[in-house]
Structure 1
Amino acid sequence: MSPPVPGSAAVSVPPVRHRPSGLAFALASALAFGGSGVFARPLLDAGMDSLHVTWLRVAGAALLLLPVALAHWRTARRRPLLVLAYGVFPMAGVQALYFAAITRIPVGIALLIEFLGPVLVLLWLRVVRRTRVSPAAVVGVVLAVAGVGLLLEVWSGMRLDAVGVALALGAAAAQAAFFLLSDSMGEDTDPLAVVAFGSLVAAVLLGALAQPWTLPWGILADPVALGGFAFPGWAAALWLGLVCTALAYFLGISAIRRLSPQVAGGVAYLEVVTAIVLAWVLLGEALTAVQVLGSAVIVTGALIAQTAVPSAPVPGPGTAPEPGADPGRSQSPIPP
């Protein structure tokens, strides 16, 4: 059994790997995360700043999940470093660093660099924790990265800025923390409680940058359009907070605990495909032949990566694991 994460009162129960349910959670998470850009677009088009939209997203999730945080207050007391790190890195860090990066480098390049997070996960597991990484997971992630490059057509409008690249790499590291921290929770920690406390931390941190008192609140009362439908701006903000943040993170954690960080990282690239397809269907943003090819490569990489997970729970002590199966959860990923 793994040693306790610093700040926890007891040893965590390792998560059980299970491919079918893990894939179901991963696909649902990709759909929920992938819709964030589409549902943010009406608010952005109405004149709201991107940082304001991001703050609305995490603050909305924090407000919606406040009853969960109150009901599970012992989680914050038992594992304070985990909930703090989750709010700082996966929930606030990815957003803030990515938005800072796209002010200096093209969006496609910034997104590609950010999605190097699963590659960093593989490097962390292999180099730092010296954990065996399945070849299928490596191949899947490499294919997925190549597919993202095709999907975003990063060679067009290529312009690199050292600070912008560094910021995007910071977003990638924060994304890697999402996979590693989620795997460190164990079966004895409620993932929804961690999301609840993490969103509270992120709302406070991003609030200092977004300055919500300057937010044009009137936009939330005005009608906005999406896919030929009109609805109040607050409905888009509610969807961002409830589905694209609270539900998406919960589903993502559930997927990681069942698939392992390295495998879930390969499957998570489906989020990019989901975002592009939803933008095509709801916003009329047409796909080029190269983007269709990129989507196919990403899906292929995800399918290869998930084969590294056993289709049944990880065997107990004394039982030989299935060939090619993930060895299970190793030591806590939070660095000393």
Structure 2
Amino acid sequence: MIQYSRFKGYIMALSGAALWGISGNVAQELFQNEGFRPGWLVTIRMLLAGVLLLLFASIKSKEKHKVWTIWSDRKERISLILFGIFGMLGVQYSYFMSINYGNAATATLLQYLAPIFIIVYLAIKIRKIPSKKEMIAVFLAILGTFFLVTNGTVDKLTISFSAIYWGLGSAIALAFYTIFPKSLLKRWGSFIVVGWGMIIGGIGLSFINPPWKIDGQNWSLITALYIGFVVIFGTLIAFYLYIDSLRYISPTEASLLGSAEPLSATIVTIIWMHVTLGSFEIIGGVCIIGTVLILTLGSNRENKKLN
């Protein structure tokens, strides 16, 4: 039988990933039916969630001083600013723009191509030919992307070019987001690094999308609740559940359960947004999720051999 602590970890990782996926659908509703701008929502989401994450770190962490001392080192400051602009802001803005031009399901699936860009980057950096497993993953990712954006018909795209462009951009930004801050995370912790990254990105985007400019947006109790869901449940709680699950389960298990994000986004897109996905689009989504599973499972086996 599964131990209670491990079962708890599974539920936490699964719930966090599902909340990320659902928040994409809520954002789609705000963009396409309520007149909200992606840039404005990203600014609000990052500023509010960033402040809340740092407050949480100050209360929960045994090393509260790290919330501010991270700025004492010049090298760390530069790294944190780069992460906030090109990592955190890059992935958030491009992901929401892809939702704006397409839908939450395809935007999330395109973002899941990030591991392929990581493989390509590492292959160029260390001049190493990808392994057989990685080559299979790359092939599956390309095949899945083709089916997702064409539904098997080469002469017509099922989603707009802008949605594809921003979706691939979010995958590249997510690859950077994954690779770049490893030393920062190891020294300062995920809540502090991500919290400051969000605030930096939110401040940067505020110059282009001031949070006080709300003209043209349909404000009501419902839309306010939607925004609250994106910030609280889709960012703060989702991030906490996923990160805290690592106390009970392995990073590999958490990564596998992270596949609930595109699955939840797709299910809610079909049920709530009434978006019909073709058979080839579904196959494409399965291929992309399969890519992540292959790479994650393969990584787990390699780690066991090394231990």
Structure 2 length normalisation: TM-score?
0.70
CA distance in 1, matches of 2:94, 2:210: 17
| Aligned equivalent of 2:55, options 67, 70, 80 | 67
CA drift of 1:283 comes to 2.5
The answer (yes or no) to whether the contact 1:273–1:298 under 8 Å persists in 2 is no
Per residue, is there more helix in 1 or in 2? Answer: 2
The amino acid across from 2:177 in the alignment is F
Q: Please give the residue correspondences for 1:127-276 in structure 2 after superposition, counting only pairs within 5 Å.
A: 127-130=124-127, 134-153=131-150, 155=154, 156-157=156-157, 170-185=169-184, 187-216=186-215, 219-220=218-219, 222-223=220-221, 232-248=222-238, 258-259=251-252, 271-276=261-266
Deviates more, 1:167-176 or 1:295-304: 167-176
Counterpart secondary structure, 1:86: helix
CA drift of 1:272 comes to 3.4
2:3 corresponds in structure 1 to: none
Judging changes above 3 Å, is the alpha-carbon distance between structure 1 residues 39 and 282 closer, same or farther for their aligned structure 2 residues?
same
CA drift of 1:268 comes to 6.4
The answer (yes or no) to whether the contact 1:182–1:253 under 8 Å persists in 2 is no
Deviation digits for residues 287-319 of structure 1, max 9, x if unmatched?
32223322332343333222213369x57xxxx
CA drift of 1:286 comes to 2.8
Judging changes above 3 Å, is the alpha-carbon distance between structure 1 residues 101 and 304 closer, same or farther for their aligned structure 2 residues?
closer
Judging changes above 3 Å, is the alpha-carbon distance between structure 1 residues 43 and 170 closer, same or farther for their aligned structure 2 residues?
closer
Identity of aligned residues (%): 22
The amino acid across from 1:235 in the alignment is L
Deviation digits for residues 256-302 of structure 1, max 9, x if unmatched?
x9349xx96x9867643432222113333233222332233234333
The amino acid across from 2:21 in the alignment is G
The answer (yes or no) to whether the contact 1:195–1:249 under 8 Å persists in 2 is no
CA drift of 1:197 comes to 0.5
CA distance in 2, matches of 1:131, 1:268: 28
Q: Identify unmatched segments of 5+ residues in structure 1.
A: 1-19, 224-231, 323-336
2:284 corresponds in structure 1 to: 294
Q: Please give the residue correspondences for 1:278-293 in structure 2 after superposition, counting only pairs within 5 Å.
A: 278-293=268-283
CA drift of 1:118 comes to 2.2
CA distance in 2, matches of 1:180, 1:21: 28
The amino acid across from 1:62 in the alignment is G
The answer (yes or no) to whether the contact 1:22–1:258 under 8 Å persists in 2 is no
2:24 corresponds in structure 1 to: 37
The answer (yes or no) to whether the contact 2:94–2:169 under 8 Å persists in 1 is yes
2:41 aligned with 1:53, yes or no? Answer: yes
The amino acid across from 2:35 in the alignment is G
For the aligned residue pairs, the C-alpha RMSD in angstroms reads 4.3
Judging changes above 3 Å, is the alpha-carbon distance between structure 1 residues 194 and 42 closer, same or farther for their aligned structure 2 residues?
same
Deviates more, 1:196-205 or 1:266-275: 266-275
2:279 aligned with 1:321, yes or no? Answer: no
Q: Please give the residue correspondences for 1:1-40 in structure 2 after superposition, counting only pairs within 5 Å.
A: 27-28=14-15, 30-40=17-27
Counterpart secondary structure, 2:212: helix
Judging changes above 3 Å, is the alpha-carbon distance between structure 1 residues 308 and 27 closer, same or farther for their aligned structure 2 residues?
farther
The answer (yes or no) to whether the contact 2:144–2:288 under 8 Å persists in 1 is yes
Count of matched residue pairs: 283
Deviation digits for residues 157-212 of structure 1, max 9, x if unmatched?
48998x99887665443221111135444544311111111110111011112122
CA distance in 2, matches of 1:207, 1:189: 26
CA distance in 2, matches of 1:268, 1:145: 21
Structure 1 length normalisation: TM-score?
0.65
